[in-house]
Amino acid sequence: MGRFLLKRFFQTILILIIISILAFSLIHIIPGDPVYAMLGTDISPEYHDQVYHSMGLDLPLVKQYFRWVGNFVQGQMGYSYHFKEDVSTLVARRLPPTLILGILSAVVSVILGLLFGIITAVRRGKPIDSVLTVLANIGIATPIFWLAVLLVFVFSLRLKLLPSWGFTFPWVDFGRSMKQMVMPVLCMSVGGIASYTRQTRSSMLEVIGQDYIRTARSKGLKESQIIKKHAVKNALIPILTLIGLTLRNSIGGSAIIERAFNISGMGSVMVEALSARDYVALQSGIVFLALITCVCNLLVDIAYAYADPRIRLE
Amino acid sequence: MSEHLLDVKHLQTVFHMGDGLVRAVDDATFHVDEGEIIGIVGESGSGKSVTMMSILKLIAMPPGEIVGGEAIFQGRDILKYGPTSEEIREIRGGGISMIFQEPMTSLNPVLTVGQQIMESIMLHLKMNKADARKRTIELLGQVGIPDAESRIDYYPTQFSGGMRQRVMIAMAMSCDPKILIADEATTALDVTTQEQILELLRDIVKKTNTALIIITHNLSIIARYAERIYVMYAGNIVERGTSEELFVTPAHPYTMGLLRAIPRLDSDKSRRLVSIDGTPPNPAKKTGRCPFYERCIYKEERCDINELPEYIEYSETQASACRFRREELLAKAPPEAKEANRRSIGKEPVLQLKGLSKYYPVTQGIARRKVGDVKALDDVDLTIYQGETVGLVGESGCGKTTLAKTVLRLHPATGGEIIFRGEDITNLPERKLNSIRRDVQFIFQDPYGSLDPRQTAGSVVGEAIKTHKLAKDKADYERRIDELFRAVGLDPALKNRAPHEFSGGQRQRLCIAAALASEPKFIICDEPISALDVSIQAQIINLLIDLQAERGLTYLFIAHDLSVVRHISDRIAVMYLGKVVEISPWDRLYENPMHPYTRALLSAIPIPDPVVEKARKRTRIEGEVPSLINRPSGCVFHPRCPYATERCSKEVPPLKDYNGHEAACFRIGEI
């Protein structure tokens, strides 16, 4: 177990190094001069040279990389000419809302998805299975932006129950925060709930057909105990892999939701930075996304090893 | 009130499938008394497992449905209880418990064995956790699991197959059931392990006066362990009786046929096996007629009516569901056991292995540093002559299949030489191997997995003809395929069908036809019949023997079943952990096995005859085949050998020749 985790930890570090190299090269891969690309061509040559020098672009590549990494680790991610502030303060301001929404929607989709999946598997062929399975298929097919518009139309414009935009931290104003988050979290988790329902259903059905479930039945256990104690833990193992992807997807894909509900989060930073060719912000954003993904994957691996003794004991 | 512990009468179970009704169990009537061991024997699909699962309501309902009969257990008809009712759950595990076939999949991989046994104890015996744990440790000790106190917290993956089956036994026995059902409980195990498990089961049930129902397709096991036997065929119990009665005076044509069809350790091998032709009826298309009608050699017009035959009782215990009395059947001409085809064995070696070795590296860490070798084959010498059949036996993991694959150059040898018809092919480059590949063919164990499901039967068989460009034109190609189909006893009209439309036996015939397509000289048969039903096995063995005589083939016949190997082989090599420990002409190996491992292997195999069986002297060995990674020093067999000395653990005994009978053991003269 310890060796397994150590191995996975080193692999994670390796992946982060590779991604940081890729993110770093971004600025050098694009055609043309990065400073002109960022600031436009109508700046004075003196200003260009000043920025060029301040970004360290005149240093040798290897040195530049290490300087960039060193600064990054210390929290200095450079100055974004587009957002007109330090990237570190930008990220500190814009990442938390995205993280909160992402984690919340991941939790919601996992819990509801597993629950629906288990119900549909246990009640296979019954009306509730058909209803939930149809809903899950609809959920997978529903475009998020359309759902967002629909929800705003119904709950904000017609029923006037929920605010249509904005984000407040729960510790600032809990009630308002919750009201504002209901619709974004719902939109972000619909796809997850739907796909978890389907995955859990098929995984559960497979497990229920296994010999050890027959063994458990032959011992005289109650069906509910068999599901709880013998089936669910086995069925979760393949689902765990998906959970790692969910958080990354909801953070990576948060741009649409942030735009729809007018939330200033990390997703919109990335989109804006990309269209404004703000490589400094973009580089840091990529590394943050990679970091979150890697941490999620590492957590999943730990959970995996915990859930499956066959891996733990290897 | 019934006087038997369990009394099942006219049990009938059907499955409602999409395309109609499958009548899995037509009419099962049997009983078992306290402390008795009974056997239910039948081929796959005969309904023996479904019968047992029906009694405990463990079949999936729907699609399954129990449509008739009763099962009186301790005075109550337990068929009346619903599948999830309180009453039936109390009986499951508490009154009647089961051990299943696959020890690898029958235990939950994410729970410790302790948790799995304890939950049963806490449920039925209402013990608290601490007491249940104590009892579990005791039980694990009783079933022969060493160091039970710490092993109780192990997961199933940490046990070998045999050990897992012991855990299953402990679990099944944990709540003092009245009846223990062993559903093919030893089928997946090696012969020596199988013997250990069955002995353990017998000891335990005799000690606790539990009734044991052994369900198996293996007649020999039944002969050794069961007191009374029920023979099932196509959902019906066709014959019942004590084991003496069934083996000495069988009365049903199916029982008679089975006994003739299986090769025995003590049978005359100059005669062909008398196979039962045809295949069991499709349970979805069953009529009310005698289920054995299609395959019966004694059938007459009066059997062809839509009614099951009545039982004829021969004694208090024996009865047979056949319209003819035993004497009438015997009066009809019995099937002549034909003389086996004669063939001559040449002096010229076809294949010579000299010091052949195959090591797999063991690596460690991220850098995959090599830390050792798994010696799957270690210094193997073997010569096979023209026209000969050499049997290669040993338990799983002993290197039989590795040997076959190395000879075929499917993976490279680590050391030694492979000489095929005088040419060293050990390191022959891939492009020059083509002609060798034409001459050496392979028949695999699993006829289900080894045929490409997306090709027609004809193109599977014809592939080698195309590869080796043996056909002159399209017509010649088709003619050759038809010929091959006929050679293996298949109708050429079937060649456009997909492999899944064939039965197991027919598929193995297809595999044989495919192997013959390139007109090989030498065929390696790797467990070619072990996935087939008993009544089909004889058909395939006879086919292989006939083809050998017709085409002058040379076989390397790999199997774990010593009775089959004995029947087909001229010489036999016994392997253990990558080493050949004994090699000799077949008759001498069976008359006078020299190596202690061979002796143990032979005595682990029951003879399907209770009278002979009781008189046999047996050598028994302890433990299981160790993993190749922890290969013992010196003689690889010494940790399990009852005769091992100091020397055996230090030196490797060489293969020594005793007048054409070679064995690798230091103590041959003394033991």
Q: Is the confidence at residue B499, as pLDDT, over 70?
A: yes
Full DSSP string of A70-85: HHHHTT---EETTTTE
Computed over every residue of chain B, the mean pLDDT equals 86
Q: Is the confidence at residue B1, as pLDDT, over 50?
A: no
Q: What is the pLDDT of residues B407-435, one digit of tens each?
A: 988 888 898 999 998 889 888 888 888 88
Helix (H) or strand (E) holding B128: none
End-to-end CA distance of chain A: 7
Least Cα distance to A255 among A192, A184, A193 occurs for: A184
Least Cα distance to A307 among B213, B182, B536, B110 occurs for: B110
Q: Which residue has the tokens 């590949």?
A: B437
User: Dihedral sign, CA of B134, B137, B141, B146?
Assistant: negative
The Cα–Cα gap between A117 and A109 comes to: 11
Q: What is the pLDDT of residues A22-76, one digit of tens each?
A: 988 887 777 777 777 777 778 888 888 888 888 778 888 888 888 888 888 888 8
The domains located in chain B, with CATH, are 6-84+214-331 (3.40.50.300), 349-663 (3.40.50.300)
With pLDDT > 90 as the criterion, what percentage of chain B qualifies? 28
Q: Which of A211, A223, A309 faces B105 most closely, judged by CB atoms?
A: A211
Q: Which of B58, B102, B123 faces A221 most closely, judged by CB atoms?
A: B123
A155: DSSP letter? I
Q: Token pair of B6, please?
A: 């369990």
Q: Which of B100, B123, B366 faces A211 most closely, judged by CB atoms?
A: B100
The Cα–Cα gap between B66 and B70 comes to: 10
| 3-class SS of residue B11 | strand
| 3-class SS of residue B619 | coil
Full DSSP string of A250-299: HHHTHHHHHHHTT---HHHHHHHHHHTT-HHHHHHHHHHHHHHHHHHHHH
Q: Token pair of B122, please?
A: 């806490």
Q: What is the pLDDT of residues B503-553, one digit of tens each?
A: 788 888 899 999 999 889 999 998 888 877 777 888 888 889 888 988 889
The domains located in chain A, with CATH, are 106-267 (1.10.3720.10)
The upper half-sphere exposure of residue B188, i.e. CA atoms within 13 Å in the direction of its Cβ, equals 17
Q: Token pair of A28, please?
A: 């050098």
In this prediction, residues B165-172 reach a mean pLDDT of 91
Record: contact A218-B84, CB cut-off 8 A = no
Q: Is the confidence at residue A204, as pLDDT, over 90?
A: yes
Residue A63: Cβ-neighbour burial (10 angstroms; 0-12, 13-18, 19+) = exposed
Any idea which of B19-33, B118-132, B266-280 has the lowest mean pLDDT? Answer: B266-280
Q: What is the pLDDT of residues B205-254, one digit of tens each?
A: 999 999 999 999 888 888 889 999 999 998 899 999 998 899 889 999 99
Report yes or no: A2 at the B interface, CB cutoff 8 Å.
no
Q: What is the pLDDT of residues A91-126, one digit of tens each?
A: 888 888 988 888 899 899 999 999 999 999 999 888
Top residue of B108, B113, B171, B213 to mutate, by most chain A CBs within 10 Å, is B108
The Cα–Cα gap between B206 and B209 comes to: 5
Residue B181 pLDDT level (bands cut at 50, 70, 90): very high
**pLDDT for B211:** 94
Between these two residues, B118 and A255, which has the higher pLDDT value?
B118
Record: contact B98-A234, CB cut-off 8 A = no
Least Cα distance to B354 among B281, B426, B445, B459 occurs for: B426
Query: What ipTM was assigned to the predicted interfaces of this complex?
Result: 0.79
B→A contacts (Cβ < 8 Å), by residue, are: 56, 58, 84, 88-94, 97-98, 100, 102, 105-112, 119-120, 123-124, 155, 157-158, 168, 171, 366
Record: contact A218-B90, CB cut-off 8 A = no
The Cα–Cα gap between A287 and A78 comes to: 14
- The whole-model pTM stands at 0.82
| 3-class SS of residue B45 | coil
The Cα–Cα gap between A145 and B619 comes to: 76
Q: Is the confidence at residue B363, as pLDDT, over 80?
A: no
Number of Cβ pairs < 8 A linking chain A and chain B: 82
Any idea which of B20-24, B48-52, B240-244 has the lowest mean pLDDT? Answer: B20-24
Any idea which of A5-14, B152-161, B445-454 has the lowest mean pLDDT? Answer: B445-454
Report yes or no: A63 at the B interface, CB cutoff 8 Å.
no
**pLDDT for A71:** 87
Q: Which of A210, A217, A229 faces B105 most closely, judged by CB atoms?
A: A210
In this prediction, residues B453-482 reach a mean pLDDT of 89
Record: contact B92-A234, CB cut-off 8 A = no
**pLDDT for B337:** 66
Q: Is the confidence at residue B2, as pLDDT, over 60?
A: no
Contact in structure between B219 and B258 (CB atoms under 8 Å): yes
